[in-house]
Amino acid sequence: MSPNSSAAPPPPGLIRRLQVGDGEIVVEEQGTGDPLLLVHGFPFDRRMWRGQIGAFPGLRLLRPDLRGHGESEAQPPPYTLVDLAEDLRQILDHLAIERVLLGGLSMGGYIALAFAGRYPERLQALLLLDTHPKADPPEVRSGRAETAARARREGVPKLADELTERFVGGRTMDPEVVALIRQMILDTSVEGMVGSLTAMAARPDSTPILPTITCPTLVIVGTEDNITPPAMAREMRAAIPNAELVEIPGAGHLAPLEAPAPVNAAIAAFLRAHGLGPGRPHPA
Smallest separation (angstroms) from ligand MLT to the CB of 107: 3
Residue closer to ligand MLT (CB basis): 135 or 261: 135
**Angle at 168 (CA atoms; ends 162, 174), nearest 5 degrees:** 125
* Closer residue to ligand MLT, CB minimum distance, 108 or 216: 108
CB of residue 88 to ligand MLT, shortest distance in Å: 15
Tell which residue, 96, 89, 93, has the closest CA to residue 114.
Answer: 89
Q: Is 12 helix (H, G, I), strand (E, B) or coil?
A: coil
User: Which one, 89 or 134, has the nearer CB to ligand MLT?
Assistant: 134
Q: Which is nearer to ligand MLT, 16 or 152 (CB)?
A: 152
Binding site for ligand MLT (CB under 6 A): 41-42, 106-107, 200, 227, 253
Residue with Cβ nearer ligand MLT (31 or 104): 104
CB of 191 to ligand MLT, least distance (A): 17
- Shortest separation between residue 131's beta carbon and ligand MLT, angstroms: 8
Torsion sign, CA atoms 165, 180, 248, 87? positive
Residue 229 phi, psi (nearest 5): -70, 165
Residue closest to ligand MLT when measured from CB atoms:
41
- 243-248 and 123-129 strand pairing: unpaired
What Å distances lie between residue 247 and 36, 226, 237, 271, 282, CA to CA? 21, 13, 12, 17, 31
Nearest distance in Å: CB 151, ligand MLT: 14
What percent of the chain is helix, strand and coil (3-state, nearest 5)? 45, 20, 40
